[in-house]
Amino acid sequence: MRKLRVLLLVHDLLLPPPDADELDWEETYPYQMELDVQTALHELGHDVETLGVGENLDVVRQRMEAFKPHIAFNILTDFHDITAYESHIVSYFELLKLPYTGCNPRGILLGNDKTLCKQILKLHGTPCPESVSFAPGTKKPRLPKGLDYPVIVKSAIEHGSTGLSQASVVKSDKQLEKRVAYMFDKVGGEVIAEQFIEGREMTCSIVGNGNRLTVLPVWEVWFTKLGKNKHAICDEKLKWNVEYAQSIGIKTGPARRLTEQKHKEIQDIARSAYKALGLSGYARVDMRVDKDGNVYVIEANVNPDLTGIEDFAEAAAKQGMEYKDLVQLIVDAGVKYKAPWKAGPNKKYT
């Protein structure tokens, strides 16, 4: 492994302070992922410069010209607090001809748009729930023929379970109208209603480009103290409120009670979704498995959380990979990705 100059790009509000290694977890929690990646890159022996990016992307160009990095390790997931701009950030890297880690702009766009994502997956024969989308301002949302209640209503463009709650699972036209109106008002943008798959929540994380993919073990999310008549979903409160998550007994770990054949089937479906959407770098494919064992792709999360104690890193550890080795694998995928300026005329991207 050769030593690289790595420009670690983080949101300016999540820039680890110089003394971060001496602080308690409660203090480092807001920027734990950034700190974990930074520490791993140093442990790998790379020459690392961490840059906090705020309202102006030109700082990336300035540091690129001064530092001359071999690659940028990108942990920027929005710009001006707008998730839809995530792909634009990476497009800027490509215009600068700056190699980067993570997903390409087109893959980010498709992965983050739940409506487009499902349309493409269906064309490729990847199983996913039936769904319908509603443009902002729709007054009387209705389900089309072939889509029946219950459905789950969520933002078509935001991630992190924004706006998702127990009330998102609706069972009537009246509830649908109320929830869609709520999403327009509180979140904004297009809203999607998809068939609610009652069952188990599973994920499969992948690193790589084209046909050279490392598919990690299937992971599962379950709840040991979920109240009666509550839906087993990863809603916004669960993701961002540690006390609430603990109160309902959230557990994550290797998928339980799966035959080797079913485990491989889920990995194959995740791989199929990754390739169908043209993803690169790394991503996590979220799925639901119903009581009959049918697998449905819910969404693809590009550039997911890399915190050392989160599912992506833990799945890699299950496969025998140390955290720093996972970070290096992501760096290698970024170095090897053939962006348009690398591919040249009439050459295939991989």
Token code pair at residue 25 = 């977890």
pLDDT for the residue numbered 162: 87
pLDDT for the residue numbered 348: 53
pLDDT-above-90 percentage for the chain:
81
**Measured distance between the N- and C-terminal CA atoms of the chain, rounded to whole angstroms:** 22
Q: What is the mean pLDDT of the chain?
A: 93
Q: Looking at per-residue confidence, does 166 or 227 come out higher?
A: 166
Q: Looking at per-residue confidence, does 250 or 304 come out higher?
A: 304
Question: Is the separation of the CB atoms in 235 and 164 below 8 Å?
Answer: yes
> pLDDT for 35-89, tens place per residue?
999 999 999 999 999 999 999 999 999 999 999 999 999 999 999 988 889 999 9
Residues paired with 51 in a beta bridge: 9
For the ranges 63-72, 232-241, 306-315, which has the lowest average pLDDT?
232-241
Tell me what the mean pLDDT of segment 240-247 comes to: 78
Which residue's entry shows tokens 């889920």?
A: 266
> pLDDT for 127-183, tens place per residue?
999 999 999 989 999 999 999 999 999 999 887 788 889 999 999 999 999 999 999
Tell me what the mean pLDDT of segment 119-129 comes to: 96
pLDDT for the residue numbered 350: 46
Domains in the chain and their CATH numbers?
A: 5-102 (3.40.50.20), 128-195 (3.30.1490.20), 198-343 (3.30.470.20)
- Binning pLDDT at 50, 70 and 90, where does residue 349 land? very low
For the ranges 260-274, 302-316, 333-347, which has the lowest average pLDDT?
333-347
DSSP letter for each residue of 146-204: T--S-EEEEESS--TTTT--GGGEE-SHHHHHHHHHHHHHHT-S-EEEEE---EEEEEE
Tell me what the mean pLDDT of segment 271-283 comes to: 98
Give 246: exposed, middle or buried? Use CB within 10 Å, 0-12, 13-18, 19+.
exposed
pLDDT for the residue numbered 344: 62
Question: Is the separation of the CB atoms in 339 and 91 below 8 Å?
Answer: no
Enter the pTM of the model. Answer: 0.92
> pLDDT for 93-115, tens place per residue?
999 999 999 999 999 999 999 99
